[in-house]
Amino acid sequence: MSHSQPRESLVETTLPKTVRVVEVGPRDGLQNEPEPVSTPHKLLFIQKLAEAGLKHIEASSFVSPKWVPQLGDAEEIFANLPQQAGVAYSALVPNMKGFERAVASGVRHIAVFT
């Protein structure tokens, strides 16, 4: 840090102008539940998050239902998401098979494992 540059100025030049907050509860939070949450309850949860003002919601993941049965309804979730202006719904995909399922389901925003 330069001694001639005030700390506030340094922070302003190094921080991004905006950040995107992505709510991952419908995917990350529900995937660890001991019993699957019903699809209608998931859709209601997602709707309430959107109504609360969240603009980016990771709704599900296209993972193997064999390994993560709680997310075995990803296609149904994306087929029935509440359409709300300004809200982007994304899916997490772990591999090419998941990517292909997501694309076939009309998912427009995809997060990938890196």
Q: What is the reported pLDDT for 59?
A: 98
Q: What is the reported pLDDT for 5?
A: 57
Taking only the tens of pLDDT, the chain with its 114 residues reads: 555 656 666 666 778 888 899 999 999 999 989 988 999 999 999 999 999 999 999 999 999 999 999 999 999 999 999 889 999 999 999 999 999 999 999 999 999 987
Q: What is the reported pLDDT for 111?
A: 95
19-30 burial string, b = 16+ CB within 10 Å, else e? eeeebbebbeeb
Q: What is the reported pLDDT for 17?
A: 86
Q: What is the reported pLDDT for 98?
A: 96
Q: Would you list the domain boundaries of the chain?
A: 18-112
Residues whose CB is less than 8 angstroms from the CB of residue 73 and which lie 6 or more positions away in sequence, other chains included: 39, 42, 60
Token pair 């149904």 is found at: 76
